Amino acid sequence: MGNLIQRPAPEVPSMQSTPLIANVLTAARYIDPLFLDSPILGNAALDAELGCELLAKDETRNPIGSFKGRGTELFAATALRGNEAVVCASAGNFGQGLARAAAKRGHACTVFVGAGANPLKVDAMRRFGADVRSGGADFDAAKQAARAYAAAHGLIFVEDGAQAAIAEGAGTIGLELAASAHFDTILVPLGNGALLAGVGVALRHVAADVRIVAVVAANAPAMKRSLEAGRAVATDSVDTIADGIAVREPIAQSLPELRRCCDEVVAVSEQQIVDAMRLLHRRLGRAFEPAGVVGVAAILAARECHAGRRVATILCGANVAPDLRERLFPS
């Protein structure tokens, strides 16, 4: 990690935590076009199985296979100066996005990961230039290690779900969806909250009648419990295949904004996640990662709530762990 600027992390306007609609509306000009204008998938056979008309925004046909590039591009373009180095923790997709966005602008990037991190994602982070380090048993332990490392070395700690620019970049997904079609409900995967915050701010502005439902894994319930309680409620562990939303310790300061950005939070089981992965593979011919399909899993879990409606969701990642891919989609 050469050329590091070691100093206390700056307090600058672009580090604010609450996403602003004005920044969402201008975000696209800073984001690599490879991440923009993603396709909306769906077909009659899939709709028939779900009992509703599905608009599935496919955020996986880009260099990192997930939506994270939108927010990390905006953050790197607007929040970093010179050759400042960044540190983060990641389950994999955010680290890929930050590593790529940082490297193309001359910034070193260190990513801490948990012991069970998806090896496909870890390899990709390294390929995009990240210095990947082990940070403990899981994502939240890795976050603590990353924060401590950044503080000890005077580097910028970038927390997915905390910096507004990351959510504002994700908000462009909401703008694109609203510009493409009208829909009654959107089901948004909920991890640390950047996707929900960005899409929520965008849709509250341009499509205020849309019902926004956040979706967590039942085996990683911290975000649902926290939003329902109005305070951060951590869990001792998580046990879900949906690594991208496997949050154990919510970001307390983000909760009020997330509560404003959704009408309901629902949880889906591991079996419902697997069923959604298999359904999309069968009907769309694509393998999406567990966190990326929880919106479809939520439809499977409550078909009667969505029957006959036009429902949107975000297929937010396609980096399926090799062992899971082999188990669910054997060749």
Residue 15 has pLDDT above 80, yes or no: no
Average pLDDT, stretch 192-200? 97
24-65+163-328 shares its CATH topology with 68-157: yes
Mean pLDDT, rounded, for 50-78: 98
**What confidence tier does 17 reach under pLDDT thresholds 50, 70, 90?**
confident
Higher-confidence residue: 137 or 11? 137
CATH of domain 24-65+163-328: 3.40.50.1100
Distance separating alpha carbons of residues 69 and 96, to the nearest angstrom: 8
Q: Averaged over 33-48, what is the pLDDT?
A: 98
Confidence band for 331, pLDDT divided at 50, 70 and 90: confident
277 close to 244: Cβ distance less than 8 angstroms: no
Tens digits of residue pLDDT in 284-298: 999 999 999 999 999
The pLDDT assigned to 125 comes to 98
Is pLDDT above 70 for 2?
no
Across 22-49, average pLDDT? 98
Tell me which fold the domain 68-157 belongs to: Rossmann fold (3.40.50)
Domain boundaries in the chain? 24-65+163-328, 68-157
Using a pLDDT cut of 90, give the percent of the chain over it. 94
Q: How far apart are CA 2 and CA 129, in angstroms?
A: 12
pLDDT digits (tens, 9 = 90+) for 246-263: 999 999 999 999 999 999
Which percentage of the chain shows pLDDT scores above 70? 95
pLDDT band of 202, cuts 50, 70, 90: very high
Q: Which of 125, 94, 122, 102 is nearest to 317 (CA)?
A: 94
* Mean pLDDT, residues 186-209: 98
Task: Report CA torsion sign: 286, 57, 321, 125.
Answer: positive
59 vs 304: CA distance, rounded Å: 27
* pLDDT at residue 221, rounded to an integer: 98
Does residue 184 register a pLDDT over 70?
yes
For residue 325, pLDDT over 90 is answered with yes
> What is the spatial distance between Cα 81 and Cα 77, in angstroms, rounded to a whole number?
9
Structure tokens that stand for 212 in this block:
């926004």
Question: In the 3-class helix/strand/coil scheme, how is 30-62 assigned residue by residue?
Answer: HCCHHHCCCCEECCHHHHHHHCCEEEEEECCCC
Q: Which amino acid is at 35?
A: F
Q: Are 307 and 185 in contact (CB under 8 A)?
A: no
DSSP string covering 192-234: SSHHHHHHHHHHHHH-TTSEEEEEEETTS-HHHHHHHHTS---
How many angstroms separate the CA atoms of 146 and 273, rounded? 30
Average pLDDT over residues 106-114: 97
Non-local CB neighbours of 18 within 8 Å, separated by 6+ positions: 164, 257
* pLDDT surpassing 60 at residue 1: no
Residue 7, pLDDT > 60, answer: no
Per-residue confidence band for 6, with pLDDT thresholds at 50, 70 and 90? very low
Task: Quote the mean pLDDT of the chain.
Answer: 94
At 249, is the secondary structure helix, strand, or coil? coil
pLDDT at 16: 58
